[in-house]
Every structure is written in C-alpha cells, then in structure tokens.
Amino acid sequence: MRGIGEGITEAGGLSGGSFRILHVSTGNVCRSPITERLTRHALADRLGDPLWGGLIVESAGTWGHEGAPMEANAETVLADFGADASGFVGRELLDEHVIRADLVLTATRDHRAQVISMGHSAGLRTFTLKEFTRLVRAIDPATLPPLDDGVVERARALVRAAAALRGWLLAPTAEADEVYDPYGAPLPFFRSIGDEINEALDPVVTALTGVPARA
C-alpha cells in the first residue's frame, strides 16, 4: 500500500482486523488512482482515523504501468476534491492483489471479467464500481451490523448482501456500469470522470461507515 496506512500492508485481506479494497482499471495511472485516493479521502473524512478502522484501500491495473506516477490531470482532479495524490506509484495487477482483497471494484465490466478469470474465488467479491453502487443503494442499512461491531464486519456484510442482490438488480444498460478511460483526454473530461467516480463512491462510503457525507 502507498501513502496513508503504510506499514499495515502485510495484514492480509482475510485477517480479522482488516478489510482490503482494491480498485482496478487498465494502466493504474488515471481511473483507479483517482478512485483509490477519493476513497481514502472520503473514509478519512467520515471516520476521522488515518487507518479508517481497518479499511485498507489500494489500486492496480490489468496492464499497469509498474512504477509510473499517476497522470498529471488525475492529480489535478484529486486536488479539486482536496484529496492527497502524493506518493502514488502504479502497479500491475497480480494474483496476490486479488487473493488479499476483500472487495474488488473495477472501472469496467472487462476489468471485472479479467479479475474473475484470475480465479481465487474472486467472483463474489468483484464488481464494477457503478454496479456495486447500484446494489448498495438497494441494501437497507438496518440489515448491516451496527458500527459498534466495527467497520470491518460491516464491510464484509455489505459485500455479502451486494453479491446476493446481483442477479436480481440488473443495470438498465450495459454502459451504466462503465467508467470510461480519460487517458490522454483534456482536463475537462478528467474532471467529468472524477465527478462520476466521486458520485459513485458516496453511497458506498456511507454504507461502509454509516456516516453520510458532510453537507
């Protein structure tokens, strides 16, 4: 893991004390870095804890630019939201990342398929970001463990509930579950993708933490 939370990366995704969220896109220089850092920013805002109660947030790319910085426009988008872009280093998606992840959120259906094709029983814990958002919106928060039980237990229950709904709550169109690639695009398009990702993340982070965004 990079940046905030460094030093706890060896706590595996299946351990009792942590819950690992993995964001996946293609190059790991645009969409997944934006999603990773916006997730961290939102969790810190809601929970006020730099380790977010055991939630670990990472990213990787199916054709990841190993060791590369994120795109400059992606950094600008994060700055717009007040999120920290520092210290980011691109990674190529490896088996170990999928094995350790408790929840994998991908930019597109193709990325989701690639993650699932890697095996490791990833199917029930891998969603596109927008797919997961749609499913989370349909889950009654009252059916999730109370926050007194810890954010990790609540997160695990949320993933199980979303997986159970997947076959019943379908996307209105195939494109509804996609976050398109802004790589090489001008800043206004990057900003539109940032807004799209932030909007999709809001109900997810609210469900995970039980805390709505600040007005």
pLDDT score, position 1: 32
Instruction: Return the SS3 of 77.
Output: helix
pLDDT score, position 147: 84
CA pair distance 23, 107, nearest whole angstrom: 8
pLDDT score, position 77: 98
Instruction: Return the SS3 of 87.
Output: coil
Per the structure block, which two tokens stand in for 141? 């928060």
Residue by residue, pLDDT tens for the chain (215 residues) are 333 333 223 333 344 589 999 999 999 999 999 999 999 999 999 988 756 689 999 999 999 889 999 999 999 999 999 999 999 999 999 999 999 999 999 999 999 999 999 999 999 999 999 999 999 999 999 999 988 888 999 999 999 999 999 988 787 887 899 999 999 999 999 999 999 999 999 999 999 988 887 76
Q: Where are the alpha helices (DSSP H) in the chain?
A: 31-47, 72-80, 95-100, 109-117, 129-137, 151-165, 187-209
CA pair distance 186, 189, nearest whole angstrom: 6
Count Cβ atoms below 10 Å from residue 76 Cβ, excluding itself.
14
CA pair distance 199, 83, nearest whole angstrom: 15
Burial of 17: CB neighbours in 10 Å, binned 0-12, 13-18, 19+: exposed
Amino acid of residue 193: I
pLDDT score, position 53: 80
Find tokens 């949320």 and name the residue: 158
> Under a CB-based contact definition with an 8 Å cutoff, are residues 8 and 18 in contact?
yes
